[in-house]
Chain A
C-alpha cells in the first residue's frame, strides 16, 4: 500500500444539484449560527466558553455530508456545525449551549458542550481534547463486531494531534482495519502556539505513513474538496480497508474562545471577515437568487431558534443527580 501523503481530489467533483443545495444550505446555516452567537455574546456576554468555528464551516458541512445518517460522529470543539450537519436541530444545540433542559443533555451543559444524539450517531464529546481517538476506535470495533458497515468520523484539531491517544488508537485501528475516518482541521493554532512551533513537519497527514494508512491533504476552505476526500475515505472504511487520515488546511478567524484577545497573534485583525471564505467559494456554484434565499432562511432559522431557546428553563437540583447510573 502506498503510504505517501497525497493531495485530495480537487473541487468540482460529481455532485447532484439537490445535494449541492443541501450542502450550501448547511454551510449557510452553520455560518448564521456562528454570526448570531458572536453578536449575542458581544451584546450580552455568556456564562460559559464558546469556541467559535467561524471560517471552518466548509470542513464541518463538507465532511459530514459524506456520512450516512447512521454513521457515527465524534465532533471537535469549534462550533456547532458538525452536529447540525449530522441532523441535530439548531434549537437542541442552542438549548445545550445555553444550559436549557430541552437540550440533548437535559440542561447539564453550558458553553461549548457535549451534544449527543445516539439515534443519528452523534456520540458526544469529551472535556479533554484528543480523547475521542480511543473512544471512536471502540465504536468502530462494535460497528465491526455487530456486522454493520457503519463508519466512525472523528474530528480533531492540530492541537489535539499531539495527544498520545492518537498514536495508541491509530496503531491498533490500522492493524484491525477499523472503519474510521480521522479529519484534522488544521487551523494553524493550538490555543496560542502556532503549528510550526509544535510540529517538526509541515503536514499532520504525513504521520499517516507511520500507521500504514492513507494520509490526504485537502483545502479546508473548499467544501466540495473536503466532501470528495471524505467520500473516498468513508468508502474505504466501509469496505473494510481501514482508517484514513484527512488533513483539511484551514485557518482560525476568531480566538480560542470568544473573548480571547489573541495578543499572541499578529496575522489577523480581530474581525468577522473570513479569508478564502468557504461560504463564498461554494456560493459560486449556486445561482445567486437561490443562495440569497437560502442565506435568508438560515438567518431566520437561527434567530427563531435563539428566541425559542432563551425562553426555555434551566435545570434545578433534580438535573444535578440524574444520569450517573443506569
Chain B
C-alpha cells in the first residue's frame, strides 16, 4: 500500500511525523516553504513546526500577522508563481475567515482560468476536539472541502499516514486541505524513515479485518472504532474497520468490496452527523451495494450542536467508543 522501502520503523508521535514530513520535503525541494501564525521561532502553537525555523531560516518559515486571508491567499498566489507553499491556519475553523481564499481561489482559480494556472499548495488545518478550546476551535469541517470541487481532502489517523500523506500532498500539483487531528498530535506509532516513504491518495486502509460489519471511520474515530472492534471480538462479533485516509479522492472500491462481504455498514465521523462526509459515504454505499445490504447503512457523528467549551461536555458531543460498540452490536442483529 505504501511506496518506498520501509527499512526502519521507529516509533514517533503524530505531530513529530508531520514535522519530519515538512523537514524532509523542504530539504528535498528548495521551492517548498511555509507560512502561518507563530510557525517560526515558536514552532507553532501546537509545536508541530518546531526546529524548522532554525534549519531553514526566516525566508522559508515565515511568521505572518493575524491575517488568515493573507495566509491562504498569498499561498495561492505564490503557488501560481512557481513556489510550493505549505500554509498553516492555527485552527481548521479559521477556514471560515479565509473562506473566499480557500473555497474560491484555492479550489477554483485553475478551473476559472481554463487550466492555464496551477495551485500546488497544502493548507494544514489542525482539526477536531482537543479539550476546552470551544465552539469556534473544535469543529470537524472536512466535508466542506468535499463540497468544493478542486480541493483534495486528507485526514490522517496514524503517525505514519500523517507523514506519508503530507509528503504526497506537498508533491501533488493540486491544492490540498490537510486536516490533522490536534487531539492526536501525541499519539505514537511506527513511522518509516525512508525519505521516499509516501502514502498515495485515494487508497483506503483496512485497519482490521472482519466479516460481520464494515465500519468506515475517519480521524479520531479510527482508534475508537478499533477499540470497539476489540471489545466486540470477545463476543464473537468481528468488525472490519476501514479508514479512507483521503476523502477527495475517496476509495469507494475498498469500502464497497467490504460491504459486499459483510452486508452491513456503519459510518463513523467526529463531525456533526448532518450533511457530513459520512452521509456522502453512506449514500454511495447504498448506490453501489444496495442488494448486498442486509440492513440499513447507519451513521454515527457528533450531535447537531456546537461543541461546548467544557472538556467534559465536549466528549458528550462526539461519538465515544461505547457508542460505536453499542451501535455495531445493534446493527449486526438487524
Chain A residues in the interface with B (C-beta under 8 A): 72, 103-108, 114, 116-118, 123-124, 126-128, 131, 133-143, 145-146, 164-165, 167-169, 171-172, 175-176, 322-326
Contacts and interface: CB of A to CB of B under 8 A. Distances in A.
6 shortest interchain CB distances as A-B pairs:
A138-B77, A134-B73, A323-B115, A105-B114, A138-B74, A142-B81
B250 to A, nearest CB: 14
Given A131-B104, A169-B70, A325-B150, A139 B77 contact: yes
A325 B174 contact: yes
Contacts of B208: none
Nearest to A315: B114
B149 interface: yes
A127 B112 contact: yes
Contacts of A131: 73, 100-101, 104-105
B173 interface: yes
Contacts of B76: 134-135, 138
Contacts of A142: 77-83
A135 B70 contact: no
B75 interface: yes
Interface in B85-133: 85, 100-101, 104-105, 109-118, 120
Nearest to B83: A142
A176 B63 CA distance: 11
A136 B117 CA distance: 14
A123 B78 contact: no
A323 B173 CA distance: 12
Contacts of A114: 112-113
Contact of B116 (A104, A141, A164): A104
Interface of B: 31, 33, 59-60, 62, 64-65, 67-70, 72-83, 85, 100-101, 104-105, 109-118, 120, 149-150, 173-174
Contacts of B173: 326
A118 B117 contact: yes
A108 B114 contact: yes
B68 to A, nearest CB: 8
Contacts of B150: 324-325
Contacts of A104: 113-114, 116
B233 to A, nearest CB: 41
Given A126-B104, A142-B83, A326-B174, A106 B78 contact: no
B239 to A, nearest CB: 34
25 contacts: A104-B114, A108-B111, A116-B114, A118-B116, A123-B77, A124-B109, A124-B116, A124-B117, A126-B100, A126-B109, A134-B73, A138-B78, A138-B81, A139-B77, A139-B81, A141-B78, A145-B59, A146-B82, A168-B67, A169-B70, A169-B73, A172-B70, A322-B114, A322-B115, A326-B173
A38 to B, nearest CB: 26
Contacts of A165: 69-70, 73, 100
Contacts of B82: 142, 146
A105 B111 CA distance: 9
Nearest to B81: A142
A169 B70 CA distance: 6
A128 to B, nearest CB: 5
A168 B118 CA distance: 24
Contacts of A139: 77-78, 80-81
Contact of B118 (A126, A128, A146, A326): A326
A181 B137 CA distance: 36
Contacts of B85: 138
A33 B114 CA distance: 23
Nearest to A72: B81
A164 B287 CA distance: 44
A124, A136, A164, A167, most chain B CB atoms within 10 A: A124
Contacts of A138: 73-81, 85
Contact of A116 (B77, B81, B100, B116): B116
Nearest to A124: B113
A143 B100 contact: no
Given A105-B113, A139-B80, 14 more contacts: A107-B114, A108-B112, A108-B114, A116-B117, A118-B117, A127-B112, A134-B76, A136-B77, A142-B81, A145-B33, A171-B65, A172-B74, A322-B114, A326-B173
Given A322-B115, A323-B115, A141 B80 contact: no
Contacts of B70: 134, 137, 165, 168-169, 171-172
A323 B65 contact: no
Contact of B111 (A123, A175, A324): A324
B194 to A, nearest CB: 26
B65 A172 contact: yes
A114 B104 CA distance: 14
